[in-house]
Chain A
Amino acid sequence: MVRDRLTSQENLLLWDEFRSGDPEAFSRIYELFSADLYRYGYNLVRNKQLVEDCLHELFLHIYNSRQRIGPTDNIRFYMYRALRRRLTDALVRLKKLDSQAYIFESAEFLVESYETELVEQQTLDHQRQIVIAELNRLPKRQREILYLVFMKGLTYSQAAEVMNITMKSVYNTIHVALSALRTSVAERFDREWVFINVTIVALMGYLAALY
């Protein structure tokens, strides 16, 4: 899980400098966020050309309308939301599909384990693998929420806005995701159930704390 390297205050400041027409600030925004936006875009759509075209349009758009756009203390959130919209529009145009359900058919938010520094208890690694495998079986929308919240440090309401869904459905989705996770892990590993159950309860508590 990676937090923004910039604090809210630094976000606000950089964005304001950019809005007041500082070309250095625009360049810094590109340096800081382009690779990250690229990764998010590529996770949504497995098409480099399309992601690049949308990023091109997006950066150009914010530059040209910099005097009209509002303040933000989370540039990543602002850009994620704009990029996802652009990709959605481009895909709708491309595939003539209106239904959200088909839009990110190739979306791939896969969870994997960091190589742990310490060779801790083997069991812990094993159990982590089980949880990871189960997380990867969640529907892609649920994985996207987890990605935005855990990996990118957005709040739930920001994740909801990026994905253009309501807070209620984010809450429901996470709840459903974790219940499903609990059930399936329990079914698979009865013996380890106690430990994993503790982990998942802790995970849920952690998620709830983020509200």
Chain B
Amino acid sequence: MEEQDPTGNYIRNIHFKESSPSQADLDRLRSRIWNDIAETETKKGWWNRPYYLIAASVSLLVVSAGIAWWSMRPSHLRTAYGEIRTITLDDGSHVTLNANSEITIGKDLADNAVREVWLEGEAYFDIAKRNGAKFIVHTPEAQVEVLGTEFNVNARRQNTRVVLHEGKVKLHAAHAPAVVMKPGDMAIVSERKQPIRLRPVRTELYDSWKESTIVLDGKPVGEITEMLLDNYGIRVSFADTAFLSKKLEGKLSLQSTDDFVTNLATILDLEIEKDGNSYLFR
């Protein structure tokens, strides 16, 4: 209608500035959508078949009972000595809780703009992205703030040690300026009023506990005995304390702590005296 109108022409000469997505952006988004559709389609095949209706209603009952149980379940979890547990949070994040550790999970994790958990001990976090909603891990010494990433937090012995596997996190402490970590960084926050220490590390040295193994490479024996006490309640002492600073190489399984202690003694070429949960190496 306005084709012949000179004003129409005039306005047509004005346009709005826009930023176009790249073809790569559109292709990536497209494959995200089509992937999810393929997933729902496989589920959908089930619904269309009538004989699955009974099974569906039964599972609906089970699911609602599950939801009822789920909503009443404590938002608090602690692991015993030697126990490692992986949980899935309401927002889709996965947390692997190391032995002798305790986690408290904040309310409405799936809906809140800020997702919060409180940790004492050690855990590995694989955080799901949620429209940019923050995820904060509180420890006695620090707050680890993330958007979506994988990292290990160890909050023991008045220290919080964060090792970043993937993504980006921001670390806040009460008495030190915040730092932003890159993948492969380890940050240590101590209780004392010291700045946060940051250095690059090999991440598998700090998160191999998830697979119940320990990578020894360059770890002093003293650190291993601390870990045994923290995670398994096993006390190892040495007749000759010079061994505590000896550094070891290699990788050991922690599936059985008895085997582990025996192997450790073999490597060090020492005899063991066992007394309950205490071992004396001599």
Which of the four size classes fits the interface of chain B?
20 to 34
Known A-B contacts A38-B20, A94-B132; A151 and B29 likewise in contact (beta carbons under 8 Å): no
CB distance from B270 to the nearest CB of A (A): 55
Known A-B contacts A30-B30, A56-B32, A206-B7; A114 and B13 likewise in contact (beta carbons under 8 Å): yes
Q: Chain B residues with Cβ under 8 A from A48's Cβ?
A: 21, 25
Q: Flag if A96 contacts B20 (CB, 8 Å).
A: no
Cβ of A93 under 8 Å from chain B: yes
Cβ of A169 under 8 Å from chain B: no
Q: Could you tell me the dominant secondary structure of chain A's interface residues?
A: helix
Q: Flag if B33 contacts A47 (CB, 8 Å).
A: no
Q: Chain A residues with Cβ under 8 A from B5's Cβ?
A: 206
Quick one: which of A27-60 are within 8 Å of B by CB? 30, 34-35, 38-39, 42-43, 47-50, 52-56, 59-60
A131 CA / B17 CA spacing, docked (Å): 15
Q: Which residue of A has the minimal Cβ distance to B19? A: A42
Cβ of B15 under 8 Å from chain A: yes
Q: Chain B residues with Cβ under 8 A from A146's Cβ?
A: 16
A112 CA / B16 CA spacing, docked (Å): 6
A38 CA / B30 CA spacing, docked (Å): 12
Cβ of A95 under 8 Å from chain B: yes
A49 CA / B40 CA spacing, docked (Å): 23
Q: Flag if A205 contacts B7 (CB, 8 Å).
A: yes
CB distance from B201 to the nearest CB of A (A): 28
Known A-B contacts A38-B20, A203-B11; A50 and B131 likewise in contact (beta carbons under 8 Å): yes
| Residue from the list B17, B20, B131 in contact with A112, Cβ < 8 A | B17
| Residue from the list A55, A95, A132, A143 in contact with B113, Cβ < 8 A | A95
Chain A positions within 8 Å of B, measured between CB atoms, are: 1-2, 30, 34-35, 38-39, 42-43, 47-50, 52-56, 59-60, 63-64, 90, 93-96, 108-114, 116, 128, 131-132, 135, 143, 146-147, 150-151, 199, 202-203, 205-206, 209
11 CB contacts below 8 A, A to B, read A30-B30, A39-B18, A43-B19, A52-B25, A52-B28, A109-B17, A111-B16, A112-B15, A112-B17, A151-B15, A151-B16
Chain B positions within 8 Å of A, measured between CB atoms, are: 2, 5-8, 10-21, 25-26, 28-30, 32-33, 36-37, 40, 111, 113, 129, 131-133
